[in-house]
Amino acid sequence: MSDKILEIENVTVSFEGFKALNQLNFSMDTGELRVIIGPNGAGKTTFLDVITGKVQPTTGRALFKGKNLRSRSEHNISRLGIGRKFQTPRVYLQLTPRENLDLSCNRHKNVLATLWGRPSGPERRTVAGLLETIGLTTKADIPAALLSHGEKQRLEIGMLVAQSPDLLLVDEPVAGLTDEETENVGNLLLTLADSHSIIVIEHDMEFVRQIARQVTVLHQGAVLCEGSMDEVQSNPQVIEVYLGQPEEDDG
Amino acid sequence: MTHTAATNLPLAKPRKLLWETGVIAVITLICAVLLPFVLPTFRLKFLGRFVALATAALGIDLIWGYTGLLSLGHGIFFALGGYSLAMHLKLQIPEGELPNFMVNYGVAKLPWFWQPFHSFPFTLVALFTIPALVAAVLGYLVFRNRIRGVYFSILTQASLLVFFFFFKGPIELFNGTNGLKTDKDLIFGVLASSNQAQLVFYELSILCLLLAYILCRWLTSGRFGRTLIAIRDDENRMRFSGYNPTGFKVIVFAVSAALAGVAGALYTVQTGIISPSTMEVPFSIEMVIWVAVGGRGTLIGAVLGTILVSIARTLLSEQFPEFWLFFQGGLFLIVVTVLPDGLMGWFKNEGPDQMRLLLGRPRKVMTYPSLAEDPEVEYERQNLRN
C-alpha cells in the first residue's frame, strides 16, 4: 500500500481537440494540504472534474488510494471518500442548514436506507457540532436561501466535512468573501487539514499565503512547477505566466 | 407562519402533526359519513369522481411538486388502471362467453392478456402494479441517461401518444375509441351503475385518497422527502454528496404512477367508461393544472386544487358548455402570473400578511426569527428606543 492518497498519471482531457489537461502528472501524500494555483483556463476545475468523475480522462488514469477512478460514477467516487466543494456555493436552498448537513451526514445513501432510516444519535450530534464549527447554530432552522453568501460558503464546507471524506476538494472557497470571513475559512481549512487530505484551488494570493504549505502551479493543462510558496514565487516561469500580474495589481 | 426558535422544534412538531391528523380525520368523516345523507345522489357521484382524481393529483404533486419532474404523461397510468378494472368487469359474464364488442368484431378466443383479468385479486393488484412497472421501466431508461427538465416532459408526452394509439388501434382488443363501458356490467353480482355500488365506490375513493395522502405524507417527510427536494433543487450536487438520484426518481415516478392507476380505476367505475380519450394530451395537462392551482409542493394543495377546479368545471360546463376550455386556460395563466405557488403557497407565504396589510394591521417584520426573538435582542431594542 502506498501512502499516496491521489495519483494522476499522464491524464489528458480533450474537448473536441482542445486539451484542457495535457499529460498531467500529479501526486499527493495522505494528510497533505495542497494548494493549486494557475491562471484562468489552466485546467484547475477540469482537474477536479476528472477526480470526481464528472469528466472522463481521454487518456491516462487517476488513482485514489490505489483504486482507479475511471468509469466510476460521481456518487460512487463520493462514497469512496472524496468530497467536493464547488466554485459558487451549491447548497440546497429550500432546506435548512441542519437538513443540508443531515443529508450529507447520512451514512447509508441508497434509496431504501434513506426511506426507512432515521437520523441516529451520533449523526445528530455530528450535525449539531458542525453547525457550531461553521457558526450557523442560530440560523440552523431557517431555509438556506436566506443565508448570506459567506454563510453559504461555510455551510457547503460543513456539508463536505459531514460526508467525512478522506480527501477534500475545495474550489475557490473564499471567492466573494470579506477579509475577515476569508481568514475564518482559512483557519477552518487549517483545522480540517489535521485530519484530512485537502486540495484547495484558489486565486486569492493572500489567502494562499495564509494556508499554503505545498503549492502546485498549473499552466495550459500541465504542472508548471511545485514547491513551497517561496520557491514557487521565485520561479521565473511562474512569475512570467501568473504571479507577475497579480503582484503588479496589488501594488 | 414563522419558524419558532430551534429549541422549541422538538415540541412543536408532534403538536402540529396532531393538529393535522385531527383536521384530516374530521374532514374525512364529514365526507364519508355526513355528505352521503346531505348531497343528492347525482351530486355525490360527482364528488366521488373528484376525490378519485385528487388521488392522481397527489401523484403529480409527488413527482412534480417535490421532485421537480414535470410529467405530461400521467394519462397513461390513469388509463392503465382504468382499463385493468374495466377489463375485469367486462369478464363478469358466463364462462366461455366473450365480451360483446369482441363478438361483434369476430374474435373467436379471448386474447391471452385478457385471461388473468378473470381473477379479482389479480385485477386489484394489477391496477396499480402495471402503471408502476411501466413508469419504473420508462423512468429508469430516462433518468439513467440523465434526461431532465423539458426533455423529460416531452418524452412523457410522446409516450402518452404511443399508448393512445396502442389502445385506440386494434379495435377488437380494446374496442378502439369507443372504449370499455362498465355501467351495464356486474361487480360482485351488483350492477356497477346502481346507487348501491356507486356509494361503495364513493367511500372507496375517500379511503384511497386518505391512504394515498398518508403515503405521500410519509414519503415527503423525513430524510427521503428532503432528498427529493434536494434533487429538485440541485440534482448534480446530490451526486457529489454520494447520492444516486436515479433510484430515488424511479421510485417516486413509480409511486406516482401507481396513484394515477388507482385513481383511473375508481374514476372509470364512477363514470361508467374508460376510453383512449383519457390519454389525450389535454387531460394529462389538466392534472398538472390542478396541482398548480392548489399549490405544488403541498399535498393539501393538490387535493384542494383538484376538487375546486373540478367543481368549477362542472358548474361552468352546466351553464356554458363551450367555454370551459377558455376558462381553464385563463385559470392557468392567472395561477402562473399572480399565484406562482398556488392557493396553498399563497396562504402559507404572503397571504396572511397581505390580508393583515389590507386590514391595516401589518405584521412585525423579522429578519432572523431566532435572533429577533432572542430576549437580549428584544431588551436591547426596547432600551434603544427609550
Q: Are A73 and A111 found together in one domain?
A: no
Contact A110 B247 (CB under 8 A): yes
Per DSSP, the three-state class of B311 is helix
Residues of B in contact with A84 (CB under 8 A): 240
pLDDT of residue B101: 86
Q: What is the dihedral of CA B152, B155, B159, B165, to 10 degrees?
A: 150
pLDDT of residue B64: 94
For residue A236, is it within any domain? yes
Question: DSSP alpha helices (H): ranges in chain A?
Answer: 44-52, 74-80, 97-105, 111-116, 121-133, 149-162, 179-193, 205-211, 229-234, 236-238, 244-250
Contact A141 B226 (CB under 8 A): no
Q: Are A221 and A198 found together in one domain?
A: yes
Of A52, A110, A141, the CB nearest to B240: A52
Distance of residue A246 Cα from the nearest chain B Cα, in angstroms: 32
Burial zone of A116 (CB within 10 Å; 0-12 exposed, 13-18 middle, 19+ buried): exposed
Q: Are A79 and A177 found together in one domain?
A: yes
Per-residue pLDDT for B351 more than 80?
no
SS3 content of chain A, % helix, strand, coil (to 5): 45, 25, 30
Section A69-98 average pLDDT: 90
Contact A95 B369 (CB under 8 A): no
Per-residue pLDDT for B59 more than 50?
yes
A35's grid cell: 494548494
Ranges B47-56, B113-122, B236-245, B338-347: which has the least confidence: B338-347
Per-residue pLDDT for A243 more than 70?
no
Per-residue pLDDT for B182 more than 80?
yes
B170's grid cell: 386494434
* Residue A242 or A45, more confident: A45
pLDDT of residue B99: 86
Task: Give this complex's ipTM.
Answer: 0.85
What does DSSP say about strands A18-29 and A4-15: parallel, antiparallel, or unpaired?
Answer: antiparallel
Q: Are A75 and A140 found together in one domain?
A: no
pLDDT of residue A180: 86
> What is the C-alpha separation between B235 and B230, in angstroms, rounded?
7
Of A74, A78, A111, the CB nearest to B247: A111
Spell out which chain A residues touch chain B, with contact meaning CB-CB distance below 8 angstroms: 52, 73-75, 78-79, 83-84, 86, 90-95, 99, 102-104, 106, 109-111, 114-115, 117-119, 137-142, 146, 159, 163
* Residue B254 or A87, more confident: B254
> What is the C-alpha separation between B53 and B49, in angstroms, rounded?
6
pLDDT tens digits, A87-107: 888 899 999 999 999 999 888
Ranges B1-15, B41-55, B82-96: which has the least confidence: B1-15
pLDDT of residue B369: 63
pLDDT of residue B4: 37
**Among chain B residues, CA nearest to A110:** B243
Q: Are A123 and A233 found together in one domain?
A: no
Per-residue pLDDT for B10 more than 60?
no
Read off the pLDDT band of A244 (50, 70, 90): low
Q: Are A97 and A80 found together in one domain?
A: no
Section A27-47 average pLDDT: 88
Ranges A57-71, A234-248, B166-180, B346-360: which has the least confidence: A234-248
pLDDT of residue B7: 38
| Cell numbers 346531505: residue | B38
pLDDT of residue B226: 92
For residue A151, is it within any domain? no
Percent of chain A topping pLDDT 90:
25
pLDDT of residue B368: 65
- The set of residues, in sequence order, having a beta carbon less than 8 Å from that of A250 and lying 6+ positions away, is A205
**Among chain B residues, CA nearest to A77:** B242
pLDDT of residue B364: 65
Of A84, A119, A141, the CB nearest to B240: A84
> What is the C-alpha separation between A250 and A156, in angstroms, rounded?
29
pLDDT of residue B181: 87
Cα distance between the two ends of chain A: 48
Read off the pLDDT band of A245 (50, 70, 90): low
Q: Are A109 and A83 found together in one domain?
A: no
Domain at A170, CATH number? 3.40.50.300
pLDDT of residue A3: 81
Distance of residue B86 Cα from the nearest chain A Cα, in angstroms: 34
Distance of residue B94 Cα from the nearest chain A Cα, in angstroms: 45
Section B298-306 average pLDDT: 92
Section B363-382 average pLDDT: 68
For residue A124, is it within any domain? yes
Residues of A in contact with B233 (CB under 8 A): 92-95
> What is the C-alpha separation between B144 and B248, in angstroms, rounded?
11
Section B186-201 average pLDDT: 84
The identity of residue B4, as a single letter, is T
> What is the C-alpha separation between B270 and B278, in angstroms, rounded?
14
pLDDT tens digits, A161-181: 898 899 999 988 888 888 888
Per-residue pLDDT for B100 more than 90?
no
> What is the C-alpha separation between A210 and A53, in angstroms, rounded?
30
Section A223-239 average pLDDT: 86
> What is the C-alpha separation between A157 and A101, in angstroms, rounded?
10
Q: Are A65 and A108 found together in one domain?
A: no
Q: How many CB pairs under 8 A join A and B?
A: 91
| Cell numbers 394509439: residue | B165
Section B330-341 average pLDDT: 84
Q: Are A82 and A99 found together in one domain?
A: no
pLDDT of residue B357: 78
For residue A219, is it within any domain? yes
Distance of residue A214 Cα from the nearest chain B Cα, in angstroms: 26
> What is the C-alpha separation between A10 and B360, in angstroms, rounded?
70
Read off the pLDDT band of B365 (50, 70, 90): low
pLDDT of residue A45: 87
Domain limits at A142? 92-146
Distance of residue A102 Cα from the nearest chain B Cα, in angstroms: 8
Distance of residue A50 Cα from the nearest chain B Cα, in angstroms: 13
Q: Are A13 and A51 found together in one domain?
A: yes
Number of domains in chain A: 2
Read off the pLDDT band of B37 (50, 70, 90): confident
Q: Are A64 and A184 found together in one domain?
A: yes
For residue A161, is it within any domain? no
Section B204-229 average pLDDT: 93
For residue A243, is it within any domain? yes
Q: Are A96 and A142 found together in one domain?
A: yes
Return mean pLDDT, chain A.
Answer: 86
B377's grid cell: 435582542
Contact B248 A111 (CB under 8 A): yes
When mean pLDDT is compared over A87-101, B81-95, B128-142, the highest value belongs to: B128-142
Burial zone of B188 (CB within 10 Å; 0-12 exposed, 13-18 middle, 19+ buried): exposed
Section B108-120 average pLDDT: 88
